[in-house]
Amino acid sequence: MPVKPMPQSPGRNRLSVLKSEFMFSKTALAVVFAVALQAQTVPPNKGKQIVDQAVKALGGDRFLNMHTRHTAARIYSFFHDEMSGYDVANIYTQYLDDKSTKGVQLREREILGKKQDYSYLFLAEQGFDITFRGARPLPDDRWERYERTATNDILYILRYRYEEPGMQFDYVGNQVLITNHVEVVDITDATDHTVRVYFDYNTKLPVHQSFAWLDPETKEHNDEVTDFDKWRDAGDGIMWPYTIERQRNGYKFYQIFASKVEINTELPPTIFDLPKGAQILKKVN
C-alpha cells in the first residue's frame, strides 16, 4: 500500500523562502560592497601610475631618448597558425625626434636572407620592397598594416605617444594571465582608439597587448594581439623583449626571436637610403 507523503507545514516553507532570500541578499550586498571598496581603494590615476612605472622599468629617460636599435634575429611568418616562411634578419631602426614628422616617427630597414640580398625599407610615410630588380613601393594595404602595427605597439606608444594630448589611462584591474600576475590598463587616444595592455605585476614590463580595428573596405572587425617575452638589458640600461609574437583574429601570423639587440650604436650611414642606381618599380595594389 503506497505511503502518503507527510504534508509540509506552510510556515516551514515560508521560513525556507525567507532564509533563501536573506542569503541571496547577503551575497549580493557582499559583492556590491567588495566592488565599492575596490573603487574606493583604487586611486583615480592608477592607470597612469602603472604606465609611468613601465617607462621607468624600460629605462626611464634613457628609453625615452634612445636613438637607434639594431636587432639580429630569426623571423617566422604563419598562415592560420601553420608556418609559411622563415628568414634570418638584421633590423636597423632609427627613432626620429622631429615632432613635425607625419606618419610613423621612425625609420626601419629589414635586411633578410642569409645572403642579405633583399630587404624592406620603412620610412615615415612610405615603404619599399627592395630586390635585385629594384625598389617597389609597398601596396597601400601593406603599408597601412605596417603603420597600424607600429603606432599601436605599446613600446612605440611609451616612446612617443603616452604624453600625447587627449591620452587617457584607465585602470581595468589585476588578474592572472597564464602564469603571470598582471595589471591591466586601457590606453585611449584622442580619436577614442584603445589599446589594452597587460603589465607584469613584479617587473612592471608589458607582456601582452590587444586592440581592435575595422577594415575600411570590408567593414570586418579585426583583433590584434601581441605577446612580449624574454626581456633583457639591451644596453645603456634599456630593457627590450627578445621574443615577440603577433596574432590576428586568433591566428598567429608573426614571430621574432632575437639573438642580439644593440641600443644607440652607430648604424651604417646609408642604411635608410634606396640602393644607389636602383630602379623605382611601379606600385602594385
E-only strand ranges, 80-204: 82-95, 106-112, 118-122, 127-131, 134-137, 168-177, 180-188, 194-200
- At 44 the pLDDT is 86
What residue ranges define each of the domains in the chain, with the CATH number in brackets? Answer: 47-263 (2.50.20.10)
Nearest to 100 by CA among 116, 124, 119: 124
User: From first to last of its 285 residues, what are the pLDDT tens digits of the chain?
Assistant: 444 444 455 555 555 544 555 454 554 454 344 444 454 578 889 999 999 999 999 999 999 999 999 999 999 999 888 888 899 999 999 999 887 678 899 999 999 998 888 999 999 999 999 999 999 999 999 999 999 999 999 999 999 998 899 999 999 999 999 999 999 999 999 999 999 999 999 999 999 999 999 998 888 999 999 999 999 999 989 999 999 999 999 999 999 999 999 999 999 999 999 999 999 999 998
Instruction: Tell me how far apart the terminal alpha carbons of the chain are, to the nearest angstrom.
Output: 87
Are the beta carbons of 63 and 127 closer than 8 angstroms?
no
- At 21 the pLDDT is 53
Rounded distance, CA 144 to CA 83, Å? 23
- At 6 the pLDDT is 47
For the question of whether the overall pTM of this predicted structure is more than 0.85, the answer is no
Determine phi and psi for 241, rounding to 5 degrees: -80, 130
Q: Supply 203's cell numbers.
A: 617587473
Bridge partners for 78 per DSSP: 83
Sequence-ordered list of residues with C-beta below 8 angstroms from that of 160, at least 6 positions apart, any chain:
105
- At 11 the pLDDT is 53
- At 74 the pLDDT is 97
- At 88 the pLDDT is 96
Q: Supply 30's cell numbers.
A: 557582499
